[in-house]
Amino acid sequence: MLFNSAVFIAGFLPVVLLGFFLFAGTGRQRLAGLWLTLASLVFYGWWDPHYVPLLLASMTANYLLGGYLLKHPSRAVLVLGIAGNLLLLGYYKYTGFLLGSIDQAFGLDWTVPNIILPLAISFFTFQQIAYLSDAHDGAVVEHDFLNYCLFITFFPHLIAGPITHHREMLSQFSNPDNFRPRFDNISVGATLFVLGLFKKVVFADPMGAEAAPVFAAAAEGARLGLLDAWGGALSYTLQIYFDFSGYTDMAIGLGLLFGISLPPNFDSPYKSRNVIEYWSRWHMTLTRFLTAYVYNPVVMRITRARAAAGKPLPRRGKMTFGTFLALVAWPTVLTMFISGVWHGAGWQFVAFGLLHGFYLVAAHAWRAWKARTGRPLDSDNWLKNAVAILFTFLCINVAMVFFRAPHLEGALNLLGGMAGLNGVTLPPSIAGLPVVGAVARALGIGAEPGVFFRPMLGLHIALLLAIVWGLPNTQQFMRHYRTALNWRPRVSWLQPVLPFATWRPSAAFGVVIGLVGFYALARAFSAAPTEFLYFQF
């Protein structure tokens, strides 16, 4: 079931809210929790009910295993539990890719099975691995089966995140105050949901319609010109930005309707000055998980091994090249490789992860060099920051080509077009402008209508980039009220200047948000709902 579908907005959500308020409003917290769990299972099974037993079996097995590890910590049992979760994920997500790759490499003429990926298996696998690991370490403070099931299945975050942590969710499910209906939560939650829906259907979906034919043509081997290639790549980069941002807003808003705060997962990542900052602002809960359960353990093991060999950690700013490779480069590349293959099964996702690993190593090396030479790590100069943001955005845009392309060859083909290898032409309407035409003729650039790029598309991209870089994000817009869990957003440069850049519960804002919501609902209900880009991971 999709958040942007009529069946969810006009059917499922009102019924679930009504039942929740009936139980929670009369103090029956356990019944309200059971109602939400059952509703979440219906939500999950709407797409394909055959996978509901798989989800139930996975939750039950991990709950029992976590209970055992709480009482009898065992490294062997923990490893078996993690392996079992990864094997389940691997079977559904990577069997077809691995068998297909072996068949293609050796010409074995195998019949590769078409295994359908269960919804959200990547998300609930990571959540349950974290639970087992923390249970083994004694960090789990509550072990209640109903709350555990609600922690895994809570429908606002089930399909595409945020990847929640048991410590931040189980305590909320155990707090009776969170199950009392509150008008402020309903007001803020409904506003977030409406804004997220608007981003999805008004900003993201049209950009997806522009990107799809470009990537399809590149996958089929078409030689795309510079503007066609860049138009498609930028369209997708903006599509996934507003799609993921919109989903995150809708998920957090839905959580608040039920009195639950979900963790922040999106914080204007295209405003980042380097890729380190980007990963602290894009899919923030995935970064948190990979840092806590992959990167840090790897670094700790390497550190202990070096200490045992008589190689202590260097002082700050005195890291040698070998130490940098061991403690930063290798763990970073490994972590981003795992991030890449977590996102999807295909060589293009391997390339996506490794490319981001290279980006991060380069960024860390640059910061290490500045620390070693006594230079400030960050600048207050607006021009330098603007150049850094633009450069980071271009790097991210290149990586997004691998993320979107159906295979590695298609990604490389599109990148060739973006590099100008297939020629550069301008649409006649642009080449006919006096100054532009003179410069184009001097550079030998001809005038020819683009296959995909149009001047209106260029204006659309420019407008959306102005929104991305110039306006406050949703959390900043609603910064005076409870939104994401324990989140204190930065103050946008625009907010001290324009009072209406900050949301307040007033009649004027109510009218504006109502009009925005009416338009978003009209757009959503007028066509078949499109899937969110993180819908089936």
User: Residue 296's pLDDT is what?
Assistant: 93
DSSP one-letter string for 200-244: IIIIIHHHHHHHHHHHHHHHTT----HHHHHHHHHHHHHHHHHHH
pLDDT beyond 70 at 317? no
Answer whether 108's CB lies under 8 Å from 159's CB.
Answer: no
Minimum mean pLDDT range among 156-165, 264-273, 285-294: 156-165
User: Residue 264's pLDDT is what?
Assistant: 94
pLDDT beyond 90 at 44? yes
Residue 101 buriedness (CB in 10 A; 0-12 / 13-18 / 19+): middle
CA–CA gap between residue 525 and residue 442 (Å, rounded)? 50
Under the banding of pLDDT at 50, 70 and 90, the label for residue 405 is: very high
Minimum mean pLDDT range among 13-27, 212-226, 468-482: 13-27
CA–CA gap between residue 181 and residue 325 (Å, rounded)? 53
pLDDT beyond 80 at 73? yes
One-letter amino acid at 159 equals I
Q: Structure pTM? A: 0.94
Mean pLDDT value across residues 287-302? 93
pLDDT beyond 90 at 205? yes
User: Residue 315's pLDDT is what?
Assistant: 67
**Contacts of 148 by beta carbon, 8 Å cutoff, 6+ apart:** 59, 63, 66, 131, 166, 170
pLDDT beyond 90 at 100? no
pLDDT beyond 80 at 108? no
pLDDT beyond 80 at 56? yes
User: Residue 435's pLDDT is what?
Assistant: 83
Under the banding of pLDDT at 50, 70 and 90, the label for residue 132 is: very high
* Angle, helix 330-343 to helix 296-308, in steps of 10 degrees: 150
Q: For tokens 């709350």, name the residue.
A: 147
pLDDT beyond 80 at 259? yes
Neighbour count for residue 282 (Cβ, 10 Å): 22
Residues belonging to the active site: 343
pLDDT beyond 90 at 177? no
Helix, strand, or coil (residue 405) = coil
* Angle, helix 205-219 to helix 226-257, in steps of 10 degrees: 140
pLDDT beyond 80 at 312? no
pLDDT beyond 90 at 102? no
CA–CA gap between residue 382 and residue 388 (Å, rounded)? 10
User: Residue 70's pLDDT is what?
Assistant: 92
pLDDT tens digits along 232-243 = 999 999 999 999
User: Residue 182's pLDDT is what?
Assistant: 87
pLDDT beyond 80 at 109? no
User: Residue 96's pLDDT is what?
Assistant: 85
pLDDT beyond 70 at 145? yes
Share of the chain above pLDDT 70, in %: 99
Mean pLDDT value across residues 383-388? 94
Mean pLDDT value across residues 199-223? 96
Under the banding of pLDDT at 50, 70 and 90, the label for residue 213 is: very high
User: Residue 125's pLDDT is what?
Assistant: 93
pLDDT tens digits along 262-280 = 999 999 999 999 999 999 9
pLDDT tens digits along 331-366 = 999 999 999 999 988 999 999 999 999 999 999 999
The sign of the dihedral angle between the CA atoms of 284, 289, 291, 292 is positive
User: Residue 499's pLDDT is what?
Assistant: 85
Mean residue pLDDT of the chain comes to: 91
